[in-house]
């Protein structure tokens, strides 16, 4: 596989996970998840 493509996919996944985590924090999903 192309190294640039791998780098792009890793960057995309990292930024998506960070965005997802921030959204979950915003709505307090983690607290609810921990309780249930």
pLDDT tens, residue by residue, 1-36: 689 999 999 999 999 889 888 887 777 766 666 655
Please give the pLDDT value at position 21.
85
> Which helix H or strand E contains 20, and what residues bound it?
helix 3-26
Region of residue 2 (phi > 0: left; psi between -120 and 50: alpha; otherwise: beta)? beta
Residue entry with tokens 């999903």: 29
Please give the pLDDT value at position 23.
83
Count of structural domains, the chain:
1
CA distance 21 to 29: 9
CB neighbour list of residue 30: distance below 8 Å, 6 or more residues apart: 24
- With a threshold of 0.85, does the pTM exceed it? no
Q: Are 9 and 1 in contact (CB under 8 A)?
A: no
Please give the pLDDT value at position 35.
58
**Host domain of residue 24:** 3-35
């Amino acid at each position: 596989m192309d190294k640039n493509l791998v780098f792009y996919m890793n960057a995309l996944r990292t930024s998506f996970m960070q965005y997802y985590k921030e959204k979950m924090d915003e709505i307090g999903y983690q607290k609810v998840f921990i309780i249930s």
